[in-house]
Structure 1
Amino acid sequence: MKRLFSCFLCLTMCLLGGTLRAQITANSDGVATTSYSTGPQDNIYIFCSQQGGSVGALTAAYSSGDPANYEWLKYNSGTNSFEAFQSDNSNAVSSTINNLADGCYRVNVVSGGNTETYTAWVFNSWYEVSASISESTCEYFQLTGAFTEASSTYNDLGTGGTLQLYKNVQVKWEAGSDLQSSLLSPAIYNPPAESATYKLTVYDQFGCSGEADVYYESIVPEAAFVTDYNSTAAEAPLTVNFTNQSTNADEYEWFFYRDLYEMIDEAESQGSVSDSIMDVALDQNPVYTYQSTGKYMVKLVATKNSSSAVCRDTTYLDYYIIADSSFIEAPNFFTPNNDGTNETFLIKYSSMKSIDIKIFNRWGKQVFSVSRSNLGTFDNDGADLGWDGKIGGRYASPGVYYYVVEGRGRDDRKRKAQGFFHLFRGK
C-alpha cells in the first residue's frame, strides 16, 4: 500500500504541474522532496535495503504516453554535472533502470522530435544494528545499542552544496510485545526475575529499519508465597502451611513475627520492641504452628546467587494470620430422644488448653462432670466432652439443668461459663 501511495503521489504531482519535476516514478518504500535553494524541486526515492545493496529502480515515460527513446544520465558531484549512464532507444512507452546505487539520475525523453527532461534521486537506505548488555546488577542492567546507517546526503543541483535528507530516525527496545525504552542505551531498573530476549529496532519515517537481539540472563529473584490459612477455622494452636512461589531464587529465609498486639503493648510500656521476630526458618515450604492466640505477620527473603552478585527480594504476607482467642460456648437446650439430632449437650470451645465441665439438676446435685487438658480443636477432640442426657446409664428426666464450665485458654486467660439449659425428651 505504501509503495502504491508513493507512485500515486508522483503521478499526481506530474499531472498538477508546478515546480516539481515528477515524470519519473518509482516503486519505492518512501518518497521525499529535495530542498534546493532555487529552481524546481525533485523527488527523492528511498528503497529499504541491506548494507551494500543497490535495489533502486526508476521508470520514465513521456508525458502524453506516446512511445519515446530515453537517454539516462547520472549526476557527478565532483563536477556538478550529469554524465551518460544508459540509453534506451526501444521507442517504448516507458523505460526502467534497475539496481541503482545512491545518486541523482536524469532522463531525456525524446518523442516526435520533442524532448522532456526529468530528474530524481535514489537512496538505498539501511541500518546495521548491534545490541549488548554492558552491566548487570541487582538494581538494574544496562542495555547498550549502536547502529550505522546509509548516507542520506545529496547535492543542491544549483550550487553543488551538500544537503541532508531528514529521516526522523528513532529507536525502541522491546521484550516480547512490551516496549521497554525509546533510548538507544537505556538502564532498566527493577530488572525482572525471568530471563528474556531484548530486541533493539532502529527505524525511520520511510519504513526502513534494522534489528538486533540480546539475551538478558536474570540474576535477581522475585519473592512470593501463599498459605492455606483459613480465617474461619483459626483457633490456636493453629498450623499454617506456607507454599513458596518465588522465581529465580535458590535460598529462602522466613521470618515469623511476634503477635502484633504484644509488640504494641511492649512498645508502649518499655518505649521500644526488643525483638519483633519470633522464629526464623530456612525451609523452602515451611509448616508453622502458632501455639498462642494473636495477630501475626510473615516475611520471606528470597536470594539468588550468581557469579557477579548476590541479589535478594523481600515480600510480606498481604494479610495478618489471626489465631483466635479462647472462648467457651454452651447451647441452651438439647433433645436426647434417639432421633439422631441434637442428642448431646456439647460444650463448644476454641483455643483452650484445659477445660472442666460440671452439670447439676434443679436441686443442685451434680449429674455429669468431665475434665480435659492438652486440648486440641473442638471438631477433632470435643465429642467426648458432651453429656448424653443419661445419669448412671438411665435417661435423665426432662427439665431445666445448670452447667458450670471453667478452663484456661492458650492465650493463658482463665475462662468460665455458666447458665441454665433445657433437656427435652418429646418426639
Structure 2
Amino acid sequence: MQPVLKYIFRLFIILFLIPGSVPVYSQITSSTADFSDTLTYIAFPETDPFFVFHSSSFGTPVTGKLVASSPGDTSVYNYDWSMYNPVSNSFDPPFFSETDVATSSLSNLDHGCYQVQISSTGLDTVFRAWVFHNDPNVEVEKSPEGKVMPYRYTCDFLRLIGNTYPDTIVYYDLATGAELSLPNGMAFEWTSDDSEYQIFGGRFFLSLTIYNQPPYSRPPTKDTRFTLTAVDSFNLMREDDVLYESVHVKAEFSMWYEDRGDPDSEGVWTESDNPEEESPMEVRFKNLSENGIEFEWSLVDSSKTGEESDIITYDFNDSVVFTYYIPGYYYPGMIAYSEAGCVDSFPLVTNPEIHVLPSELDAPNVFTPNGDGVNDFFVVRSKSLKAFRITIYSISGRKVYEYQHSDGRFEWEGWDGTMHGKGSSFVQPGVYYYVIDALGWDAVPYRGVEPFTGFVYLFREKE
C-alpha cells in the first residue's frame, strides 16, 4: 500500500491597508488535509482554496480542520467564522469567534465553504476555504467469509468481480448559487499477495476473468488473496480484497541425468531440459507440480517391453527414476490432477527432449603400458553398447586376455598388457591380434571386420 500523500495548501493574500502602506500576508491552512488545491467558479470572479479529508474506510465519518493565521506578524486579531448556506446563497451569521489571538482554528468541520473575517485596528478582511469529505467506495464481491463465491470459478476459469465509485465533490458558485462539482475519477489495479503471479488485464477490467489457458494465462494454483486498489483524482486510495482458495493445478517436472562423458561429474546429477547420454541412460524426474494430488507420468519403456509406460504417483515429493535403453529421442510427459478434479499436463509447447545416443565402437592400434599414466591401457571408444566380448591373442596364437560384458552399463577399463589382465605378469612387447564381438542397444552389430578385428602394437619403453 502506498502511503497517502498529504498536501498542505497555503494561500497567501497581499492586503493593502492604505495607499503607501506595507503589504500584509494572511493564510488559511490545514495540516490534517489529505489533499489541497484551488477551485474556480463560473460566475464568481475569485478563486478559493479547498481541502480534502479522506475517510479511512467506506462509511467512516471524517471531519475537517482549518487554521487561520495572523497577517504575517505576531500581532493579535479578531476572528469571526461563518459557513456558506446554499439555500440562501449567502454566509450565515458567525458561529464561532475568537478575539485578540494570533491564530484561530476550527475542528470537526462538515462538508462546505467556510469564511473567516479577520479584524483589528486598521484591518478588516475576509478569507474563504472549502472543506470536502472524500468517501469513495471500492467493493470486491465475496462471501461472508471473505472468499471468492463458489459460482465464480471452475476448472476452466476464475472470475473476480469488483466495482469502484468515486465520491462526488459538490460545491456552489458563490455568485449564482449554482451547484458545481470537481472532476473526480478512479484508476484501479488488481494485484495479489503472490509476487510471482502475473495478472493480465488487471488495470483494464474491474470484472476480471482469468482463463485456464496455459501457457498464456492460468488461475493461481495456490491459495491467493487478490486486492483491488483504486486511486481517485486527488491521489487518494481505497482498496478491498478477496481470498481465492485454489482448485486449479499446474503440472511440471525437471529432468536430471549423470553426464558420463565428464570424468569429474561421475556420480553428480545435472539438471537439463534436453539431456543427452549413451545407453543405458537413467533419468530422474523431479515433480515441480503445484496443488496436485495425483500424477500420471507417460514415459517410453526400455527394450524389455517396447511399449509406453505409465507411472502413477500420489505424493508431490515422490521422484520418478526411469532408464532408457534404445537409442533415439524421447518426449516424456505428465498429467496432474487436483483434489477438485482439475487437470493439467506438461509439457505444453516446448517439449523436453531426451536423447539416447546411438551405439558406436572404435579400437586403437597401439598402446604403451609403461606406467607413465598415458595410453597405459588398450581400451575401445564406445557408446551405447549392450553386449561386448573381446579376445586378444599373441602373434603365435596364444590367448593372453579375454573380457565379456552383457546388459547394464558398459564400463570396461581396458587391457593393461598383463597376462589375462591379472596385473602381475607382463606380456612381451610386440604385435597382438584382437577379436571383438559386440552389439549396440540399437541392435547394430560390431564384429568380423576392422576395426573390430585387427592388430594392436604394444610398446613398453618409456621415452
Contact persistence 2:361–2:382 (CA under 8 A) = yes
TM-aligned CA distance change 1:232 to 1:15, over 3 Å: farther
Counterpart pick for 1:157 among 168, 171, 174: 174
TM-aligned CA distance change 1:184 to 1:339, over 3 Å: closer
Contact persistence 1:249–1:302 (CA under 8 A) = yes
Could you say what secondary structure the match of 1:84 adopts?
coil
TM-aligned CA distance change 1:70 to 1:402, over 3 Å: same
Counterpart pick for 1:24 among 24, 28, 42: 28
Counterpart pick for 1:282 among 288, 303, 312: 312
TM superposition shift of 1:98? 0.9
TM superposition shift of 1:114? 4.1
Is it true that 1:420 corresponds to 2:451 in the alignment? no
Could you say what secondary structure the match of 2:65 adopts?
strand
**In the alignment, what sits opposite 1:360?**
393
TM-aligned CA distance change 1:192 to 1:426, over 3 Å: same
TM-aligned CA distance change 1:87 to 1:349, over 3 Å: closer
Could you say what secondary structure the match of 1:206 adopts?
coil
TM-aligned CA distance change 1:4 to 1:409, over 3 Å: closer
Distance 1:92 1:397 in 2: 121
TM-aligned CA distance change 1:25 to 1:398, over 3 Å: closer
TM superposition shift of 1:349? 3.8
TM superposition shift of 1:411? 0.7
Counterpart pick for 1:246 among 289, 292, 298: 289
Q: Specify which structure has the higher proportion of helix.
A: 1
Q: Deviations over 1:327-362 (max 9, x none)?
A: 233333334567887665344543323333232333
Counterpart pick for 1:229 among 257, 272, 282: 257
Is it true that 1:390 corresponds to 2:419 in the alignment? yes
TM superposition shift of 1:300? 1.7
TM-aligned CA distance change 1:277 to 1:49, over 3 Å: farther
Counterpart pick for 1:86 among 95, 109, 119: 95
TM superposition shift of 1:229? 1.8
Contact persistence 1:29–1:207 (CA under 8 A) = no
- Give the alignment of 1:53-132 within 5 angstroms: 53-61=61-69, 63=71, 65=73, 66-112=75-121, 114-132=123-141
Query: What's the TM-score once normalised by structure 1's chain length?
Result: 0.81
Q: Deviations over 1:103-143 (max 9, x none)?
A: 11112222226421222210121234332335123343222
Distance 1:22 1:138 in 2: 65
Range 390-399 or range 162-171, more displaced: 390-399
Q: How many residues matched?
A: 398
Distance 1:243 1:406 in 2: 38
Unpaired stretches in structure 1, ≥5 consecutive residues:
260-275
Distance 1:152 1:356 in 2: 94
Q: Deviations over 1:153-209 (max 9, x none)?
A: 111122222111123422222224858422433223422222222222222243422
TM-aligned CA distance change 1:177 to 1:353, over 3 Å: closer
**In the alignment, what sits opposite 1:192?**
220
- Give the alignment of 1:335-414 within 5 angstroms: 335-336=368-369, 344-362=377-395, 365-368=397-400, 370=402, 372=404, 374-379=406-411, 382=412, 386=415, 388-390=417-419, 395-414=426-445
Range 354-363 or range 38-47, more displaced: 354-363
TM-aligned CA distance change 1:25 to 1:277, over 3 Å: farther
**In the alignment, what sits opposite 2:327?**
293
Identity %: 29
TM-aligned CA distance change 1:118 to 1:322, over 3 Å: same
Could you say what secondary structure the match of 2:93 adopts?
strand
Distance 2:100 2:127 in 1: 17
What is the aligned-residue RMSD (CA, Å)?
3.3
**In the alignment, what sits opposite 1:329?**
362
Could you say what secondary structure the match of 2:9 adopts?
helix
Distance 2:419 2:243 in 1: 78
Could you say what secondary structure the match of 1:246 adopts?
coil
Could you say what secondary structure the match of 2:41 adopts?
coil
**In the alignment, what sits opposite 1:37?**
42
TM-aligned CA distance change 1:338 to 1:371, over 3 Å: closer
Distance 1:77 1:93 in 2: 30
Distance 1:177 1:387 in 2: 62
Contact persistence 1:62–1:111 (CA under 8 A) = no
Distance 1:231 1:338 in 2: 28
Q: Deviations over 1:222-261 (max 9, x none)?
A: 22212222354532222222111211111112122589xx
Q: Deviations over 1:240-286 (max 9, x none)?
A: 22111211111112122589xxxxxxxxxxxxxxxx97322213522
Range 227-236 or range 100-109, more displaced: 227-236
Supply the AA of the counterpart residue of 1:188.
I
Contact persistence 2:249–2:342 (CA under 8 A) = no
Distance 1:44 1:78 in 2: 21
Supply the AA of the counterpart residue of 1:314.
F
Range 218-227 or range 169-178, more displaced: 169-178
Could you say what secondary structure the match of 2:431 adopts?
strand
Q: Specify which structure has the higher proportion of strand.
A: 1
Supply the AA of the counterpart residue of 2:440.
G
Distance 1:252 1:129 in 2: 41
TM superposition shift of 1:394? 6.0
Is it true that 1:256 corresponds to 2:264 in the alignment? no
**In the alignment, what sits opposite 2:269?**
none
Contact persistence 1:22–1:42 (CA under 8 A) = no
Query: What's the TM-score once normalised by structure 2's chain length?
Result: 0.75
Contact persistence 2:168–2:182 (CA under 8 A) = no
TM superposition shift of 1:55? 2.5
Could you say what secondary structure the match of 2:364 adopts?
coil
